[in-house]
Amino acid sequence: MAKALEDGFDLTGKVAVITGGSRGLGLEIARAYARCGARLVIASRKLDACEKAAAEIQSETKQECAAVACHVGRWDDCDRLVEFAYQRFGQVDILVNNAGMSPLYESLPKVGEDLYDKVLAVNLRGPFRLSSVIGSCMAEGNGGVIINISSIAAVQPTPTELPYALAKAGLNAMTVGMARAFAPKVRVNCIMPGPFMTDISKAWDPEMFAKMTRSLIPLQRGGEPREVVGAALYLASDASSFTTGAVLKIDGGTAFSPA
C-alpha cells in the first residue's frame, strides 16, 4: 500500500512549465516536482533569477532544469515560452500558472488604466494564453495537467486589491471552463492560497498581520511555502486522476470563515 501511494506521486519522465518559478510558492513547487522526477522549465520576468533557481534545483535533484525569461502579461512572450519548452523537451505534461502581481494603490478612483491592465494581463491574460495553447497540445497528444494558482481574494476580496481579486476570480472560472474544454485527456485544477509567508510577506506590518491572524485565520498563522507542496503534487500526479475543475483553498481556514 505504501509503495502504491508513493508511485501515485511519481513525476518521472514528466516535463513541467512553471511561471513565476524563481521564488515564493512557484520555487517551492518547482523543487518538489524535480524531487519527484520531473524536468522543469522555470519562467519569470528576470532571467538571472530563473537561471539561479534552475541551477540550484538541478544541482540538488540531478533533474534537467531550463530557465527562460517571460513576461506572461505579454501574448508574444507566452508564445515564445511555449515554443521554448517544446523545442527543449519535446513535450509539456504539467503547466503551473503561478506568476502574479498585486500592486498597491491609493484608492479605487486612483487606479489608472495602466495599472488595471497590467494586473489583469499578468494574472489572467497570460494564464489564458498559456493554457489555451499548451492545453490544446496536451489534448491532441498524450494529455496533461494544468494547475492555476489563484487567491482567496477571488472569493473574499478587499478594497485594497480589487483588480487582483477580479483577475483571480476570472482564473477560478477559467479553471472550470478549460477543464471542460480539454477533457478528457487534460485535467485542469486550481490552488487558491491564503496568506503565505513568502518573500512578499516581508513588506507586511508584523503587528497588523499578527492581529489579523488572531481574528480572521482559524489556524492563527500564515502558511509556510512548503505547505503548498502537498496540493501541488497531488494535482500534478496520478494521485488526482479523477480530479478536474476543482478549486482547492489552502488558507488556514481564512476564506468563508466568520469574522
Per-residue pLDDT of the chain (259 residues; tens, 9 = 90+): 344 444 679 999 999 999 999 999 999 999 999 999 999 999 999 999 999 999 999 999 999 999 999 999 999 999 999 999 999 999 999 999 999 999 989 999 999 999 999 999 999 999 999 999 999 999 999 999 999 999 999 999 999 999 999 999 999 999 999 999 999 999 999 999 988 776 665 565 666 766 667 767 787 777 788 889 999 999 999 999 999 999 999 988 888 755 4
* pLDDT value, residue 161: 93
* pLDDT value, residue 202: 58
Q: Helix count (H) and strand count (E) of the chain?
A: 9, 7
* pLDDT value, residue 223: 79
Q: Is residue 73 in a domain?
A: yes
Q: Is residue 254 in a domain?
A: no
Q: Is residue 259 in a domain?
A: no
Type of residue at 93:
D
Q: Is residue 57 in a domain?
A: yes
Active site residue 105: no
State how far the Cα of 185 lies from the Cα of 179, in Å rounded to an integer. Answer: 10
Report the number of distinct structural domains present in the chain: 1
* pLDDT value, residue 111: 96
Q: Is residue 151 in a domain?
A: yes
pTM here is 0.92
Q: Return the SS3 of 146.
A: strand
Q: Is residue 127 in a domain?
A: yes
Whether the Cβ atoms of residue 40 and residue 14 lie closer than 8 Å to each other: no
* pLDDT value, residue 1: 33
Q: Is residue 30 in a domain?
A: yes
Whether the Cβ atoms of residue 247 and residue 255 lie closer than 8 Å to each other: no
* pLDDT value, residue 217: 79
33, 105, 164, 234: which one is catalytic?
164
| CATH number for 211 | 3.40.50.720
Q: Which domain holds residue 245?
A: 2-249
Q: Is residue 63 in a domain?
A: yes
